[in-house]
Amino acid sequence: MHNFDFVKPATVADAARALSADGAQALSGGQTLLPTMKARLAQPSVIVSLTGISEIKGVCAVDGGVSVGAATPHAVVAAEVGKYYPALAKLAGGIGDPAVRSRGTLGGSLANNDPAACYPSAVLASAAVVHTNKRKIAADDYFQGMFSTALEEGEIITSVTFAIPEKAAYVKFDQPASRFALTGVFVAKHKGGVRVAVTGASNNGVFRWTEAEAALSASFAASAVESLTVSAEDMISDLHGSAAYRANLVKVLTKRAVTAAH
Amino acid sequence: MPKDGIGASTVRREDVRFLTGKGRYTADINLRHQTYAVFCRSDIAHGRINSIDTAAAMAMPGVLAIMTGADFAAMGGNPAGWHIPSRDGSAMREPKRPVLAHGKVRHVGDAYAIVVAETLEQARDAAAAVNADITELEAIVDMAAAVANPGHRVHDEIDGNLAFDWGWIEDNRAAVDAAFAAAPHVTTLELTNNRLAPNAMETRASIGDYDPGTGDYKLYTTSQNPHLSRLLIAAFVMGIPENKLTVVAPDVGGGFGSKIYHYGEEAAVLAASKALERPVKWVADRSEAFLSDAHGRDHVTKIQLALDKQGNFLALRTETLANVGAYLSNFSTATPTFLHGTLMAGPYRTPLVYVNVKAVFTNTAPVDAYRGAGRPEATYSIERVIDKAAHELGLDPLAIRRQNFIQPDQYPYTTPVGLVYDTGNYNATLDKMIELADIAGFEKRAAASKAKGKLRGIGYSTWIEACGIAPSNLVGVLGARVGLYDAATVRVNATGNISVMTGAHSHGQGHETVFPQIVADMLGVPASSVDIVHGDTSKIPFGMGSYGSRSLAVCGTAITKAVDKIIAKGKKIAAHMLEAAEGDIEFKDGKFSVAGTDKAKAFGEIAFSAYVPHNYPLETLEPGLEETAFYDPANFTYPAGAYACEVEVDPDTGKVTVESFTCADDFGNVINPLIVQGQVHGGVAQGIGQALLENVAYDAQGQLLSGSYMDYTMPRADDLPFYTVDHSCNTPCTHNPLGVKGCGEAGAIGSPPAVINAVVNALQRGGHKAVTHIEMPATPARVWAAMNA
Ligand SMILES: Cc1cc2nc3c(=O)[nH]c(=O)nc-3n(C[C@H](O)[C@H](O)[C@H](O)COP(=O)(O)OP(=O)(O)OC[C@H]3O[C@@H](n4cnc5c(N)ncnc54)[C@H](O)[C@@H]3O)c2cc1C
């Protein structure tokens, strides 16, 4: 790890100011950033810790949904969101291990937008809104491919508001080694229709499986997607699974998520 | 008899310090004026070093020394421990393995410079500033291609990239081929034994400490065998007198084979320490471990079994490409040959066997012995081809095994591949396994799985192995360049407690608990009054260390021999003190007594008298009570067992879950049943890991794809079932006084074929009749692909 300065502001405004310095980078739970720094792949000159900012931590009910502060650790989401949005709480409780869940945060996960991360599928399927210190970004506009988002340099995610669907479930198939999602599917049945978001599978990061959304909006049953096929084109192919395998998982997990949704 | 003697399930005494953070590993040791080393490692698989510019790095803050391959060019190479000649009689190709890469880099992670600085961070910064000009060459990764393309050479002087082309036993080849030509049925299977990373919990670490006052070198290092390391470093690599080098291996956090070998980093820190006259410390991080620890397995094999229509084995032959990586590591030539080819008879009466092994250089990390070493590869091939043959002939997989077993009245049994099995009873362990695994209830369980939408399968393996290595005269004939005895010194202190110095070195096996049980049992003292000293060449007799499930069978026997000498001397002392003839003295339950009388002296009184010899036969007997014994075994030991594995396969995703695993093992006499169970649990975990999870993968450019736990799947508790483990069917070893065989590697040897046999069985039962094999690791993606081929 290279040397760096460390600041821990108490407000979003102070954090934004600190982040405007050359080579400054936000630190939330550190579960991605610190290993990268230890491997000397990232060398920020100023680390701006977000974990001292109480206004971006915690869970609260908002009109028609639930708002989760960006610096809220997964363990807190798992423990406190269940009464509003069980599928989201369950997803958070299935991320990594207890140590990762105590440190890692929603904001860090979304800013990083790992193609195998769990949260992006929930955000996309829930039609959630990503709040930053500058604006509100609709989920459909936020994710822009692997490790790529609508965030601008120095922009800070402050919270995410999730619309609570009538029924929802996340089913994750673990990559055997990392236990990130080899493929994960979040199915959410909203009043206006079903959204199906897939993580782990595509070279373009999290995506919506629109054919399944149409079929499930017509009939919310696992059998509704039976006749659909998932193209393996653009699917990730690696040590742990071919593109065809991932395409298969997309369908299998979608069916399982529909069955599990409540 | 003490309650904590032989047969007691004593809890491991060393665990208290390990589990409470009070172990003292190499990384925990910090010496005065210590400096820190970092190695520059190649990030390409194959390249010619044009120049290494260290000037900028040398000028950086805190940097004390930078040495490159050129600085070590005059030193010797790190040798292979066994010479394996080729079938045509030609000598093994043994390219020099330098301390640091010189001329060429030959695998990703090959170290070409050591950077030493005042702090670790300074050393890291400077290592990044070392500027190596390396011309990339085509990487040779695939073994078949390495052999087929003569122009491409890992070592410039070796065309064809072969270390040897070994035939075992070459004289039998024609007879084996003739039997195949005449056989009513031949089953052929091509399979890969996947490459594994050893992943000891503690990474390798070394501290070189040169004493300019005495000219002595001291090396603290993560070694399974400090004397062997000393011999290699002093006599072969650095050319310093053995008596000027002390090697200390303190607590060692697992090895699984990977810490048997001497690695260049050890010589490099010693040389740097001499140059700087300060201690030089290096601790590998996990990424370095993946890149530079010797890997295990990596065989590609074609095995054929010839049978009659009734399923009697007529002949067996194999052709194997064994990857040795970029350099010959110390045991790398023995592992695919004498630890593999000699096992190819298994527990069966197969009359004719021929094994061919070609050892192939590639631009990958060196491959060497890893828990089981050669025997898992042999067992996997045999037990898989038998299942395939049974399937082809429509025979029951257990019945075909049983009908070919060597029978209890056939011992000693000489196999066609050069071993003499002293004892065994394979029907007994098979019957025990059938009972414990409730084979009769399988169909009921399969129906329950089916009701859940899962495919259930059952697989078996009836395995044998040769361990307790090894008889020196035999291995000498086979090409070993060292002896494989072991040694122990038993020092009875004046106050009656006992220190036992052993050549064996525990790195997780529990020697500190088990060895005292033996001494306690023999001397009638509590085990708590016996302590083990190991791991320091300045304290222990010259022993060969721990690997090959040898600690108890070889070093344990040396301990018993030393204790025998203690008792014999004690009798002389007692005879004097009790004014009786030596022949009339009996030793039992910790007491020396005159036969037929109530005259007796306790063991402690004899010990005291030996050191305070006021009433002592000084004219005829030396004072003191300390004895050393070296023991060279007469034969290998042959543990064997029967394993059953039940799996469920998810037909939609291909995910395999191990539902049960049953082991009925014959380890001969058992000194500590609890530790034996633990060893079997760990071994089976590694075997299930190999079968379902673990895989070292390189891409075509020789880049390591599985270089961290993000991609290398270590087995976790929830990947594993609760095991059923039994070792009640004992046939004690006939040639060591304890009657013990080894148990350390058994689980890793016997389990992989049982798992894969179960997976294949599940798929076949599930209607995927065309699936006759699935490669390890049987990952969900692979199993799904097999079902959807
Ligand atoms: C062993 C392990 C297992 C894991 N398993 C899973 C898994 O199964 N599923 C899964 O989804 N994830 C998994 N993760 C990832 C983990 O859940 C974290 O969510 C993720 O690492 C990032 O969150 P963090 O809070 O740690 O972010 P950090 O590491 O602190 O930051 C990550 C990036 O986000 C930026 N950032 C952080 N917060 C903000 C913000 N509020 N606004 C703007 N930018 C910000 C940082 O500058 C940095 O670039 C795993 C991680 C580990 C180490």
Q: CATH code at B753?
A: 3.30.365.10
Which DSSP category does B457 fall into?
A: E
- Tell me, yes or no, whether B97 and B241 share the same domain: yes
B287 vs A contacts (CB less than 8 Å): 39
Q: Is A26 exposed, middle or buried (0-12, 13-18, 19+ CB in 10 A)?
A: buried
In this model, does residue B76 exceed pLDDT 70? yes
Smallest Cα distance from B81 to chain A, Å? 35
Distance A4 CA to ligand 1 centre (A): 20
- Give Cβ neighbours of residue B402 (< 8 Å, ≥ 6 apart): B426, B427, B430
Which long-range contacts link B218-221 to residues 24+ away (Cβ below 8 Å)?
A: B218/B245, B218/B246, B218/B247, B218/B248, B219/B245, B219/B246, B219/B247, B219/B248, B219/B266, B219/B269, B219/B270, B220/B26, B220/B29, B220/B248, B220/B249, B220/B250, B221/B26, B221/B247, B221/B248, B221/B249, B221/B266
Q: Does the pLDDT of residue B1 top 70, yes or no?
A: no
> Is B185 within the bounds of a domain?
no
Residues B303, B274 share a domain: no
Span B316-335, average pLDDT: 98
Cα–Cα dist B500/B561, whole Å: 12
Q: Are residues B530 and B464 in the same domain?
A: no
pLDDT of residue B472: 95
Nearest CB to B781 within list A1, A245, A252: A245
Query: Residue B233: pLDDT above 70?
Result: yes
Residues B271 and B330 placed together within one structural domain of the fold: no
Distance from CA of B712 to the nearest CA of A (A): 6
For position B151, what pLDDT does the model report?
A: 86
For residue A20, the domain's CATH number is 3.30.43.10
Residues B643 and B623 occupy one common structural domain: no
What confidence tens digit (pLDDT) does each residue in A112-156 have? 999 999 999 999 999 999 999 999 999 999 999 999 999 999 999
Query: Is B671 in the same domain as B553?
Result: no
Site residues for ligand 1, CB cut-off 6 Å:
A 25-33, 50, 70, 74, 95-96, 100, 103-105, 107-109, 111-112, 117-119, 156-157, 179-180
Write down the pLDDT at residue B150.
79
SS3 track for B575-586: HHHCCCCHHHEE
- Which residues of chain A have a CB within 8 Å of the CB of B653? 173, 248-249, 252
Q: Chain A interface, mutation test: which of B120, B711, B712, B718, most A Cβ atoms within 10 Å?
A: B711
DSSP label of B692: I
Sign of the dihedral through C-alpha B517, B520, B525, B530: negative
In a shared domain, residues B669 and B563: no
- A98: containing domain: 54-163
Q: How many domains does the structure of chain B reveal?
A: 3
Convert the pLDDT of each residue in A7-17 to its tens digit. 999 999 999 99
- Which residue of chain B has the CA closest to A180? B710
Is B22 within the bounds of a domain? no
Q: Is B284 contained in some domain?
A: yes
Domain span at B119: 31-137+201-254+259-292
d(CA B25, CA B365): 25
In a domain, B26, yes or no: no
Whether A242 has its CB under 8 Å from any CB of chain B: the answer is yes
Angle between helix axes B603-611 and B557-577 (nearest 10 degrees) is: 80
For chain B positions 267-296, those within 8 Å of chain A (CB to CB) are 287
C-alpha B628/C-alpha B631 separation (Å) is 10
- Contact residues for B783 (Cβ-Cβ < 8 A; gap 6+): B649, B654, B655, B656, B759, B763, B774
In tens, the pLDDT along A155-188 reads 999 999 999 999 999 999 999 999 999 999 999 9
Please give the number of the atom of ligand 1 that sits closest to the Cα of A101: 17
pLDDT in tens, B718-759: 999 999 999 999 999 999 999 999 999 999 999 999 999 999
- A206 and A151, same structural domain? no
* Candidate of A28, A182, A199 to mutate for ligand 1, largest count of ligand atoms within 8 Å of Cβ: A28
Q: Are residues A58 and A82 in the same domain?
A: yes
> Within this chain, do residues B609 and B665 fall inside the same structural domain, yes or no?
no
User: Do residues B433 and B374 both lie within one domain?
Assistant: yes
Flag if B653 and A1 touch (Cβ within 8 Å): no
Is there a single domain that holds both residue A157 and residue A66?
yes
Q: Please tell me the number of Cα atoms within 13 Å of B578 on its side-chain side.
A: 26
Determine the pLDDT at residue B3.
82
**Which among A145, A163, A181 is the end of a domain?**
A163
- B691-701: pLDDT as tens digits: 999 999 999 99
pLDDT of residue B158: 96
What values do phi and psi take at B146, rounded to 5? -60, -40
Do residue B711 and residue A177 have CB atoms under 8 angstroms apart? yes
pLDDT at res. A222: 97
User: Is residue B40 a part of any domain in this protein?
Assistant: yes
Check CB contact under 8 Å for A178 and B711.
yes
Work out which ligand 1 atom sits closest to the CA atom of A26.
Answer: 47
Q: In the numeric block, which tokens belong to residue B282?
A: 């290096």
Residue by residue, DSSP assigns B567-608 as HHHHHHHHHHHTTS-GGGEEEETTEEEETTSS-EEEHHHHHH
Q: How far is B454 from chain A (nearest CA, A)?
A: 14
Percent of chain B's residues with pLDDT above 70: 100
Report d(CA A169, CA A167) in Å as an integer: 7
Closest chain A residue to the Cα of B716, Cα to Cα = A177
Q: Which of B580, B605, B631 is the last residue of a domain?
A: B631
Residue A248 to residue B779, Cβ atoms within 8 A = no
The answer to whether B653 contacts chain A (CB < 8 Å) is yes
Q: Give the pLDDT confidence of B127-173 residue by residue, as tens digits.
A: 999 999 999 999 999 999 999 987 899 999 999 999 999 999 999 99
Tokens for A158? 């402050």
Q: How does pLDDT run across B526-563, given as a tens digit for each residue?
A: 999 999 999 999 999 999 999 999 999 999 999 999 99
Is the same domain home to B444 and B458? Answer: yes
Q: Which SS3 state, helix, strand or coil, does residue B472 take?
A: helix
User: Does residue B477 fall inside a structural domain?
Assistant: no
Whether residue B696 sits in one domain with residue B564: no
Q: Is the pLDDT of residue A1 over 90?
A: no
A246 and A189 belong to one structural domain? yes
Q: Which of A139, A163, A187 is the last residue of a domain?
A: A163
Same structural domain, A139 and A174: no
User: Looking at beta carbons, which residues of chain A come within 8 Å of B781?
Assistant: 240-242, 245
- What is the least distance, in Å, from the CA of B276 to any CA of chain A? 26
The structural domain count of chain A equals: 3
For residue B353, pLDDT over 90 is answered with yes
B613 and B570 share one domain: yes
Q: Is residue B161 part of a domain?
A: no
User: Are A40 and B128 in contact (CB < 8 Å)?
Assistant: yes
Of the residues B580, B608, B631, the one at which a domain ends: B631
Is residue A199 domain-shared with residue A154, that is, in the same domain?
Answer: no
Strands of chain A (E only): list them: 5-7, 24-27, 46-49, 59-62, 65-69, 129-132, 136-138, 157-163, 167-174, 181-190, 193-199, 207-208
